[in-house]
Amino acid sequence: MSTRRERPPTSYALAGPAGLWMLVALVVPTLFIVWVSLWVARGFTLASPLTLANYGKFFARPAYVHVLGDTVQQALVMMVITGVVGYSIAYFLVVHVRRPGLQLALFLGLVVPFWTSALIRTIAWIPFLGVNGVINQALLAIGAVDRPVEAFLFSRAGITLAQVSFYTLLATGPVVYTLRNIPRSLPEAAQCLRATPLHVFWLITFPLTLPGVVIGQILVFLNVMADFATAQAIGGHKYAFLGNLVILLYESGQFSFAAVVSVLLMTTMLLGVALLLKVVDIRRFGEP
C-alpha cells in the first residue's frame, strides 16, 4: 500500500490562520506606514494627496540626518564589540569546556536573562551607572579615581555598556551552533600536517563558523537599530536614535513625518541585512 501523505488542500487550511495573522497584523500595517509617509503633513486622512516633500524635509534638517548617522554608528560599534566578545565566549564554551555539567551551567547563566524583561534589565543598570552608582563606588574604593565619573549615566558610553549586556548573547548563539557542527577530525588533520594552532583557526575553524558569525551580526544589527528603550532610559532623553525620533514625532502629532522616519529606519535595516548576506551564503548555516 502506498503511503498517504498530507495533501496540499489540507496544508493551505492549516497554514492559513498563521499566514493571515501575519498579513493583517504585520504586512498591511507596515505598507500603511509607507503610504502615510507620502501624505501631506497637515491633516490625517485617507484622501490625502501623495507627496515626497516629507522626505525632503527630513534630509534638509542636519539634526535628523545626524540621528540617522548616530543610529547606524551605534549599530556598527555594537557589532564589533558583541562580535569579538560573543565569539570568544562561544569558542570557550564549545572548545575549552569539556565537562557537560559545567557547559550546561555556563550556558544557562548566559541564556536565562533572555527570559526576563528587557525593560527591567535596563532599569537595573541605573543604580550601576549613576554618580553614586555601583561602578563609581567600586572605582573610588580601589582608588582608581578620586572623583565619581559622571560619564556613565546619560551618555553614549552608558547606553553601549547596557546594550553589550543585552545583545552579546545574540552573537554567541549562532557561533556556538556552527562550532559544534565542525567535525573534530578537521582541525586534527591540519595539526597532523603541522599547521600551527593559529593557522588551524584562521584557515579551518573561522571560515567554517562564518555563517554563524554573520547571522549573529544580523541579529545584533537589527536589534540595535530598533532599540529605543535603552537610549531613552539610560540616555535620559539626551540621546535619540531613529526609534526615539518616531516616538517624539508621534507624540507631537506629526504622523506622516513619524512615518517617514519609520520608513528610513526599515530601509536602513533592509540594506544592512542585504549587505551582510553578501558576505556569506546563509544557506550554509547548519551544514557540517
Partner 1 sequence: MIAWRTRQRLVKGALGAVTVLFLAYQWLPMLTMAVLSFTGPEGGTTFPMRGVSLHWYRELLRVQMVDDFKPPLARSVALALACSVTTAALALAAAQAMRARFLGSRIYFYLILLGVMAPGLLVGFGVALLARALGLGLAWYTSTFAVHIVWTLPFGFLTMLAVFNRFDRRLEEAALTLRATHWTTFWRITFPLVLPGVIGAALFGFTLSYDEFARSLFATGPEQTLPLVIYAQFDRQLQPTLYAIGAVTTAVSLGAVALFACLVRLFRRRTLTRARAVPAPNIP
Q: CB within 8 A of 170, min separation 6: which ones? A: 82, 86, 216, 219, 220, 223
Residue from 60, 120, 192, 274 binding partner 1 (CB under 8 A): 120
In DSSP terms, 50 is beta-bridged to 39
Nearest distance in Å: CB 172, partner 1: 9
Candidate list 57, 121, 156, 180; residue touching partner 1; CB under 8 A: 121
Residues in region 253-272 near partner 1 by CB under 8 A: 255, 258-259, 262, 265-266, 269
Please report, as residue ranges, which positions from 163 to 182 form the binding site for partner 1 (by CB under 8 A).
164-165, 168
What is the x/- site pattern for partner 1, positions 235-254, by CB under 8 A?
A: --------x--xx--x----
**Number of residues engaging partner 1 in binding (CB under 8 A):** 85
Cα distance from N-terminal residue to C-terminal residue, the chain: 36
User: Which is nearest to 233 in space by CA: 65, 116, 241, 266?
Assistant: 241
| Contact flags string 205-224 toward partner 1, x per CB under 8 A | -----------------x--
Residues 122-141 that bind partner 1 (CB under 8 A): 123-128, 130, 132-134, 137
CB–CB of 240/258 below 8 Å?
no
How far, in Å, CA of 59 to CA of 176, rounded?
Answer: 42
Binders of partner 1 in range 14-43 (CB under 8 A)? 14-15, 17-19, 21-30, 32-33, 36
The H or E element that residue 124 is part of is helix 118-129
Report the site for partner 1 in 54-113 (rule: CB under 8 A).
Answer: 85, 88-89, 91-93, 96, 106, 109-110, 112-113
The residue (of 63 and 120) whose beta carbon lies closer to partner 1 is: 120
CA distances from 82 to 150, 160, 187 (A): 25, 11, 26
In angstroms, what is the C-alpha Rg of the chain? 24
